[in-house]
Chains A and B, each alone.
Chain A
Amino acid sequence: MKDARIDRRLFLRGIGGVTAGVAAATALSACGTGTSRVASGGGKGGGKTVVVRDSGGSYGAALQKAIYTPFTQETGIQVKVLNLDDAPLLAQIKQGRPQCDLINNSMMSHTKYVAQDALERLDLDRIKSVKSAKIPENQITDHAVGSSFYGACMAYRTDAFGGKKPESWADFWDTKAFQGGRSMCNPDGDLPELEFALLADGVPMDKLYPLDVDRAFKVLTRLRGDIKKFWDSGPLPGVLLSRQEVTMSTVWDGRIADLQKQGVPVTRQLNGMRRQFQGYAIAKGAANADNAYQLMDFSLRAESQAALAKAFPSNPSSPLAYAKLTEDERNALAGAPKYYDKGFDTDIDWWLKNESAVTKRWLEWARG
Chain B
Amino acid sequence: MAATLTAGAPARPRKRLASRRTRVGILYALPVVVYLLVLFVYPIFSTLLLSLKDADGSFTLHWYADALTGVNLSVLLTTLRISAETAVLSLVFGFVLAQAITRLKPILAGLAMLVVVVPHFVSALVRTYGWIIMLGDKGLVNETLTSMSVPGAPFQLLYNELGVVIGTTSMMLPYTVLLLYGVMRGVDRRLLAAASSMGAGKVTIFRRIYLPLVAPGLASAGLLSFILSLGYYITPALMGGPDQTMIATLINQQVTKENQWNGAAAQGVILLVLTLAGLLLVKVVTSLGASRKKRSAT
A interface residues (Cβ-Cβ under 8 A, vs B): 1, 3-8, 10-22, 24-25, 85-87, 90, 112, 116, 186-188, 228-230, 232-233, 235-236, 239-240, 243-245, 355-356, 359-360, 363-364, 366-368
Scan B145-171; emit 1 where CB is below 8 A from any A CB, else 0. Answer: 000000000000011000000000000
B259 to chain A, nearest CB (A): 6
Given A188-B253, A245-B136: A364 and B275 interface contact (C-beta under 8 Å): no
* 28 pairs from A and B in contact (CB 8 Å cutoff): A7-B283, A10-B227, A11-B1, A11-B275, A11-B279, A18-B271, A19-B231, A21-B248, A21-B249, A24-B233, A87-B255, A87-B256, A116-B259, A186-B242, A188-B237, A232-B237, A233-B125, A239-B128, A239-B132, A243-B133, A243-B138, A244-B137, A244-B138, A245-B136, A245-B138, A355-B258, A356-B258, A356-B260
Given A11-B275, A14-B227, A367-B243: A22 and B255 interface contact (C-beta under 8 Å): yes
CB-CB under 8 A from A22, the residues of chain B are 251-252, 255
A71 to chain B, nearest CB (A): 29
| Contact A17 B74, beta carbon cutoff 8 Å | no
CB-CB under 8 A from B3, the residues of chain A are 4, 7-8
Say if the beta carbon of B71 comes within 8 Å of chain A.
yes
Overall SS of chain A's interface:
helix
**Which one of A4, A239, A355 contacts B129 once the chains associate, using CB atoms below 8 Å?**
A239
| Besides A14-B228, A116-B259, 11 other A-B contacts (C-beta < 8 A) | A1-B7, A1-B8, A8-B3, A14-B227, A18-B272, A21-B234, A187-B257, A188-B253, A243-B139, A245-B138, A355-B258
A7 to chain B, nearest CB (A): 6
Say if the beta carbon of B241 comes within 8 Å of chain A.
yes
CB-CB under 8 A from B279, the residues of chain A are 7, 10-11, 14
Bound Cα distance from A53 to B75, whole angstroms? 33
B interface residues (Cβ-Cβ under 8 A, vs A): 1, 3-4, 7-8, 40, 44, 70-71, 74-75, 125, 128-129, 132-133, 136-139, 158-159, 220, 223-224, 227-234, 237-238, 241-243, 245, 248-249, 251-253, 255-260, 268, 271-272, 275-276, 279, 283, 286
**Which one of A5, A230, A359, A367 contacts B4 once the chains associate, using CB atoms below 8 Å?**
A5
Chain B residue at minimum C-beta to C-beta distance from A362: B242
Bound Cα distance from A7 to B71, whole angstroms? 32
Chain B residue at minimum C-beta to C-beta distance from A244: B138
| Contact B237 A367, beta carbon cutoff 8 Å | no
CB-CB under 8 A from B70, the residues of chain A are 364
CB-CB under 8 A from B74, the residues of chain A are 367
A267 to chain B, nearest CB (A): 20
